[in-house]
């Protein structure tokens, strides 16, 4: 039986719901989610495998005009992920459609979505935050722009219209042998996701007290047959003054 297989890259500005969408489509919590912009630091690869197809989703950092080295590196991750894509999903939200349309006209974004061989889908997320009239006008505006093959409104959080999106992806996916074994979910080791989960909790708990540049490195990770697993992690913050915030009194926050 001939299978379909290919790479689907999801791009968009920070906090539009790229990681939520990736997790929902995979049925697994691979990408961490917080309210901070650019929580995703590198491209996260997730494999959705079925008998007839295999979709490799690439979740990417949010698109920003780079102002310093870290943001330049994040933009490089986005650009390389776009090059790999058979299908490109550009994601916006329904909060302010006029501004979203304006942002797509910017040179840096037009350049990202200009590869002619890719099939492109515009996904309008968080439609529960808008009204039907606004959504209908938005669909017409974006369809008239001729930048995308399809424009699909969704609510990733509410699982609304995700089946339609998945069917559209499959429509554009090429016939190809599967890239990964049937039981492989990602290309990252377990340690990576342990570090990401710790970083997610730090960003959730400390909000603005600890900047999103905090890093987590796993020294040891041992699974135990009984009781809790053993994890030894190094948390790197920008300034010495941030250490006591992370630790709290006698390490109580840890």
Residue 25 pLDDT > 90: yes
In the numeric block, which tokens belong to residue 175?
């016939």
**Whether residues 116 and 215 fall in one domain:** no
Tokens 């997790």 correspond to: 23
Can you spell out the DSSP letters for 132-162?
HHHHHHHHHHHHHTTS-SEEEE-BTTTTBTH
| Overall pTM surpassing 0.85 (yes/no) | no
Domain membership flag for residue 108: yes
Domain membership flag for residue 84: yes
Q: Which of 47, 49, 73, 44 is nearest to 59 (CA)?
A: 44
The more confident residue out of 191 and 74 is: 191
**Whether residues 38 and 135 fall in one domain:** yes
Q: Is the dihedral of CA 188, 191, 193, 196 positive or negative?
A: negative
The more confident residue out of 49 and 95 is: 49
d(CA 117, CA 85): 10
**Whether residues 34 and 148 fall in one domain:** yes
| Helix, coil or strand: residue 49 | strand
Q: Is the dihedral of CA 136, 142, 146, 149 positive or negative?
A: negative
Tokens 């959730």 correspond to: 204
Domain membership flag for residue 185: no
| Residue range 193-241, pLDDT digits in tens | 888 888 888 888 776 666 667 888 888 888 777 777 788 888 888 778 7
pLDDT the model gives residue 8:
96
DSSP state of 249: G
> How large is the average pLDDT for residues 178-185?
94
Last residue of a domain, one of 119, 138, 172: 172
| Helix, coil or strand: residue 93 | strand
Q: Which of 200, 89, 201, 209 is nearest to 149 (CA)?
A: 89
Domain membership flag for residue 208: yes
CA dihedral of residues 220, 223, 224, 228 (deg, nearest 10): 80
Q: How does residue 5 score in pLDDT terms, banded at 50, 70 and 90?
A: very high
Residue 23 maps to which CATH number? 3.40.50.300
For the chain, the domain total comes to 2
pLDDT the model gives residue 237:
81
| Residue range 88-144, pLDDT digits in tens | 999 998 876 767 766 766 656 777 777 667 899 999 998 887 777 777 777 777 776
Residue 249 pLDDT > 70: no
Q: How large a percentage of the chain has pLDDT more than 90?
A: 31
Can you give the residue range of the structural domain that contains 48? 4-172
Domain membership flag for residue 178: no
Assign 3-class secondary structure to 196-233: HHHHHHHHHHHHHHCCCCCEEEEEEEECCCCCCCEEEE
**Whether residues 65 and 105 fall in one domain:** yes
Residue 218 maps to which CATH number? 3.30.300.20
pLDDT the model gives residue 57:
96
**Whether residues 155 and 247 fall in one domain:** no
Q: Is the dihedral of CA 92, 93, 97, 102 positive or negative?
A: negative
Domain membership flag for residue 207: yes
Domain membership flag for residue 12: yes
d(CA 10, CA 228): 35
Last residue of a domain, one of 138, 172, 206: 172
Lowest mean pLDDT among 72-81, 95-104, 237-246: 95-104
**Whether residues 216 and 168 fall in one domain:** no
**Whether residues 133 and 84 fall in one domain:** yes
**Whether residues 164 and 194 fall in one domain:** no
Lowest mean pLDDT among 10-19, 102-111, 178-187, 191-200: 102-111
**Whether residues 126 and 216 fall in one domain:** no
**Whether residues 110 and 214 fall in one domain:** no
d(CA 240, CA 87): 44
Domain membership flag for residue 64: yes
């Amino acid at each position: 039986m001939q299978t379909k297989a290919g790479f689907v890259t999801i791009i968009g500005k920070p906090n539009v719901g790229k990681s939520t969408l990736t997790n929902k489509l995979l049925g697994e919590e691979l990408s961490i989610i917080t309210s901070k912009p650019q929580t995703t630091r590198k491209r996260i690869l997730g494999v959705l495998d079925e008998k007839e197809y295999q979709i490799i989703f690439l979740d990417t950092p949010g698109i920003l005009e780079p102002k310093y080295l870290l943001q330049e590196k994040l933009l490089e991750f986005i650009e390389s992920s776009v090059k790999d894509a058979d299908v490109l999903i550009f994601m916006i939200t329904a909060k302010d459609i006029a501004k979203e349309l304006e942002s797509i006209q910017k040179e840096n974004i037009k350049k990202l979505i200009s590869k002619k061989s890719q099939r492109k889908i515009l996904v309008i997320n968080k439609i529960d935050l808008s009204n039907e009239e606004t959504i209908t006008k938005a669909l017409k505006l974006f369809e008239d722009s001729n930048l995308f093959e399809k424009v699909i409104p969704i609510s990733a959080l509410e699982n609304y219209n995700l089946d339609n999106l998945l069917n559209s992806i499959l429509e554009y996916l090429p016939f190809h042998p599967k890239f990964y074994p049937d039981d492989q979910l990602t290309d990252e080791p377990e340690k990576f996701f342990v570090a990401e989960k710790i970083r997610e909790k730090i960003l959730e708990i400390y909000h603005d007290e600890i900047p999103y540049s905090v890093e987590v490195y796993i020294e040891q990770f041992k699974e135990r047959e009984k009781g809790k697993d053993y994890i030894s992690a190094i948390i790197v913050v920008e300034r010495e003054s941030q250490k006591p915030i992370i630790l709290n009194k006698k390490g109580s926050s840890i």
